[in-house]
Amino acid sequence: MPLLSLQNLTIALPQGADRPLAVEDVSLQIGRNEIVCIVGESGSGKSLTAHAVMGLLPRGVMATGGSILFEDADLLKESPQAMRRRRGSDIAMIFQDPMAALNPVMTVGHQVAEQIRAHRAVSEHQALKQAEELLGQMGLKDPRSLLKAYPHQLSGGQRQRVMIAMALSLSPKLLIADEPTTALDVTTQAQILKLIKRLQAERAMSVLFITHDFGVVADMADSVAVMRHGRIVESGTTRQVLGSPAHDYTRALLAAVPKGENYLPPPAQAKALLQVSGLTKRFRRGGLFSRASAITAVDQVSLTLSRGETLGVVGESGSGKSTLARCVIRLLDPDAGEVLLDGADIAHMRERSLRPLRRRIQMVFQDPFSSLNPRQTIGDIVTAGPRILGEDAGKARARAAETLQLVGLKPECMDRFPHEFSGGQRQRIGLARALMLKPDVLIADEPVSALDVTVQAQVLKLLDDVRRQMNLAMLFITHDMRVAAEVCHRVMVMRHGRIVEEGPTRDIFTAPASDYTKALLAAIPGRQSL
């Protein structure tokens, strides 16, 4: 008998939402001692399904049909008190962002102890002792002092381990994990996934794992269900679904995952268009009355970039890659070093001399939801640059129509506002804005990180096409090695502000020299199986 059985589950959204049903007629089974993944893009309903099992649906969202059978009981028919007793003891859940998911004003030890004492009659002292033991089992060093720490004093990985410790404190039969590693660095992600797998095996626990990443599915799941628009389109064992996907959508999803296999060879030796040497940027903290501390975000970084080539800058959060991009494009002023754009050093130029050179180096930003002014029409946004340079408004609009078509959008969208477009479309608009100035260098700062995987693949292809067509020199910033492998000729790995390794993509991926690069590559989910 399966541990959890969802039968024809339907969840309705409140009035005014973009569709009436979040989840429609979903059936799924989780056996004992089994890891089941639900995989889907944003809006697929996978997260709400998980919340429904815990009885934690948000206000206004309700399960209107079907049943959720846990062992023998229908959770949808249970009283609130009975459901509350199950939460944390029979079924536990961990969430995506561990910083937001922990109470910022309570110590870690207290929060873990709180869960224990909610279901067992033990003293605070005993609960804390149990908490200490659990934290140790999660691989956390010095658990005793951790008990007194507050969440903001811990790293992302440590916080997620605390959440897992809390969730497993009463040995639940089912653990629900809602995208628990999406907000973590790739090396940390690999560690947490390993931890969850180990704990699952040790405790013979069932796990319902929600994710958008097929690589994770390949590494973790025994069975998988693919969701789209609230319905399950395909399900089966991992081997079945990944090896021979039956549904078109599954196939499309699998195809969209960047494989990092077709390595682009570096182009024929061309003259370097952009030459950065010794770039350094420090940030100072502390005001008039406190100790000043300095962080060196970018430390003596050098690189060259030629026309027609894409250089990838890969690193985890805090590596300095975004700061590097912003220094090169002079959104930040570097403390030292040179940035030669076709011979002219723009690193320390005054704004007035810099202004005419700005059009030669443009940028595509990360967040599609804040990179476009919500109160301007697309036409205004895209033609602003040329108009500032003196181009006639009519001519600019005509060119804008062409450029928008180039990036795959209809010219009619020029009179509409950003909120009417999807994330992928907004990134295309951002690209059009940059291209309108006919730049020589294009910096793409994590341009696809905020996009769903199918959309991601489209935008990456677009960027590559544009680069080729307009013979641009492209600097591509990303934290995802797989993405870098798709579009970059050369790759530079950064860590703590310094370059760790650099070279042609094929060399970096097949024969990495530094340990850090090796660790990054090993951490890629699904590397072996996909």
Partner 1 sequence: MSFARRFFASPPAVFGFAVFLVVVAIALAAPFLFARGPLSIVGMPLLPPGSPGLLAGSDVIGRDMAVGLAYGARISLLVGIASTCCAVGIGLLLGATAGYYGGWLDDLLMRVTEFFQIIPTFVLLMVLVAFLQPSLGSAVIGIALITWPQVARVVRGQFLSLRSREFVEAARVIGMGDVRIIVTQILPNALPPIVVVSSMMVGNAILTESALSFLGLGDPNLMSWGSMIGGSRVAMWVAWWTTVLPGLCIVITVLALNFIGDGLNDALNPRRRG
Partner 2 sequence: MKLGYIAMRLVKTVLITVAVVLLSFFLIRMVPGDAATVMAGQAGYADEAYMKGLRAEYGLDQPLPVQLWRYVEKVAQGDLGTSYVRRQPVVSVILERLPNTLLLNAFALLVAAAGGIWLGSVAARRPGSAGDSAVTVLAMLFYAVPQFWLGMMMVLVFAVWFHLLPPFGIETMGSDLTGLARLGDVAQHMILPGVTLALYFLASYARLTRTAMIDVADQDFVKTARAKGLTERQVSRRHILRNALIPLVTYAGLQASLLVGGSVLVENVFSWPGIGTLAFQAVWSRDNPLLLGIFIVTAILVSLFNLITDIAYSLVDPRVELGR
Query: x/- string (CB under 8 A) for partner 1, residues 47-86?
Result: ------------xx--------------------------
393 binds partner 1 (CB under 8 A): no
Q: Rule CB under 8 A: is residue 426 a binding residue for partner 1?
A: no
**Of partner 2, partner 1, none, which one sits near residue 373, judging by CB under 5 to 8 A according to partner kind?**
partner 1
Contact flags string 309-328 toward partner 2, x per CB under 8 A: --------------------
**53 interacts with partner 2 by CB under 8 A:** no
Q: Which two tokens stand for residue 5?
A: 């059985």
Q: Check residue 391 for interaction with partner 1 (CB under 8 A).
A: no
The C-alpha angle with vertex 254 and arms to 465 and 409, in degrees rounded to 5, equals 35
CA angle 280/285/287 to nearest 5° reads 135
Which letter does DSSP use for residue 266 in this model?
P
Binding residues for partner 1, rule CB under 8 A, total: 27
Read out DSSP for 382-438?
A: HHHHHHHTT--HHHHHHHHHHHHHHTT--GGGGGS-GGGS-HHHHHHHHHHHHHTT-
Token pair in block for residue 209: 């794992």
Which x/- pattern, by CB under 8 A, does the window 122-151 give for partner 2? Answer: ----------------------------x-
Least distance (Å) between residue 115 CB and partner 2:
4
Does 161 contact partner 2 by CB under 8 A?
no
Out of 87, 359, 438, 498, which residue is the one contacting partner 1 (CB under 8 A)?
A: 359
Binding mask 85-124 for partner 2 (x = CB under 8 A): xxxxx--xx-x-x--xxxxxxx-------xx--xx-----
User: Of partner 1, partner 2, none, which one sits near residue 366, judging by CB under 5 to 8 A according to partner kind?
Assistant: partner 1
Segment lying near partner 1 (by CB under 8 A), choices 97-105, 429-437, 467-475, 491-499: 429-437
360 binds partner 2 (CB under 8 A): no
229 binds, among partner 1, partner 2, none (CB under 5 to 8 A by kind): none
Contact by Cβ (8 Å): 164, 197: no
CA 169 from centroid of its chain's CA atoms: 29
Interface pick for partner 1 out of 200, 362, 456, 505 (rule CB under 8 A):
362
Q: Which two tokens stand for residue 479?
A: 């934290």
> How many Å is the Cα radius of gyration of the chain?
25
Cα 182 to Cα 101, 160, 179, 189: the distances in Å are 14, 11, 6, 8
For partner 1, the binding residue among 331, 344, 511, 522 (CB under 8 A) is 331
Q: Which is nearer to partner 2, 56 or 264 (CB)?
A: 56
Alpha carbons 517 and 95: distance in angstroms, whole number: 29
Task: Please name the residues in contact with 160: beta carbons below 8 A apart, sequence gap of 6 or more.
Answer: 94, 98, 180, 181, 184, 188, 192
Tell whether residue 82 is a contact of partner 2 (CB under 8 A): no
Lookup: tokens for 176? 């629900």
Which helix or strand (DSSP H or E) is residue 214 part of?
helix 214-220
Tell me how far, at minimum, the Cβ of 51 lies from partner 1, in Å. Answer: 16
Contact 26, 231 (CB under 8 A): yes
Contacting residues toward partner 1, per CB under 8 A = 59-60, 329, 331, 355, 358-359, 362-363, 365-367, 370-376, 384-385, 388-389, 430, 433-434, 437
